[in-house]
Amino acid sequence: MMLGATVRAWWVAIVNAVASNLPDDPFSSRLRAYLYRLISMHSGTAPTIKGGCRVNGYRLRIGNRVFINRSCYFDLSAPVVLGDNVVVGHHTLFVTADHEVGTAQRRAGAVKAAPIVVEEGAWIGCQCVIMPGVTIGHGSVVAAGALVRENVPPNVMVAGVPARVKNTALDAGVSAEGRAAE
Ligand SMILES: CC(C)(COP(=O)(O)OP(=O)(O)OC[C@H]1O[C@@H](n2cnc3c(N)ncnc32)[C@H](O)[C@@H]1OP(=O)(O)O)[C@@H](O)C(=O)NCCC(=O)NCCS
């Protein structure tokens, strides 16, 4: 049992070490997606995952035409699901693990984890932190540097720490460009 966990951990570490250090040309990007699939990432067609990213576990599911920019981190203590056409800016963190607040002897108490869902079409800017249990609604925008700890409704823009809705007037329709991509 313990040996199995160690072998799995080494396998994830080796895939991360190779995949995250490949360059960002189209062939290497495809190879990187293939390597992540070897550690059970489920992905749709044409994923782009740039270098420097780290996937800490097995529970990443991404849809069609997802774009993940450089040096993002996926803590996969619980699943992270990115819908079709989701774009993620560089250095964004997906944090699924949390702790109960413990006693004064050790405030980081019992571990708990909750999944993150980013619905189709959403755009997350660079250097965001997405917290455990959050759902980001379809077509929404998370501005650069935001810390998202509550669900984001569809087709709004949120910004800040903690993230607050700043714009509720985003177009909810599908553009000609969006239809052409289907
Ligand atoms: C969100 C973004 C797209 C701008 O959207 P927008 O609808 O044009 O927003 P506006 O410029 O009209 O700003 C609306 C409000 O949000 C605030 N805001 C916008 N971006 C913000 C940010 N990153 N952090 C904090 N507040 C922000 C503005 O200050 C303004 O606030 P106010 O109404 O209180 O004055 C842009 O700011 C952004 O963050 N882009 C991401 C860039 C990035 O990460 N690039 C990496 C490549 S993926």
pLDDT tens sequence across 150-160: 999 999 999 99
Task: Provide the residue ranges of all domains of the chain, joining segments of one domain with +.
Answer: 2-134
- Choosing from 42, 90, 91, 99, which is the catalytic residue? 99
- Strands of the sheet containing 73-75, edge to edge, are 54-56, 73-75, 93-94, 129-130, 147-148
pLDDT band of 182, cuts 50, 70, 90 = low
Ligand 1 interacting residues, C-beta cut-off 6 A: 69, 87, 89, 125-126, 141, 143-145, 157, 159-160, 166-167
Q: Which of 46-55, 76-85, 135-144 has the lowest mean pLDDT?
A: 46-55
27-47 per-position pLDDT tens digit: 898 899 889 988 878 888 888
Model confidence at 91: pLDDT above 90: yes
CATH class of the domain comprising 2-134: mainly beta
Report the pLDDT value the prediction gives residue 173, as an integer from 0 to 100.
75
Whole-prediction pTM value?
0.92
Model confidence at 179: pLDDT above 90: no
Residue of 166, 168, 171 to mutate, ligand 1, most atoms within 8 A of C-beta: 166
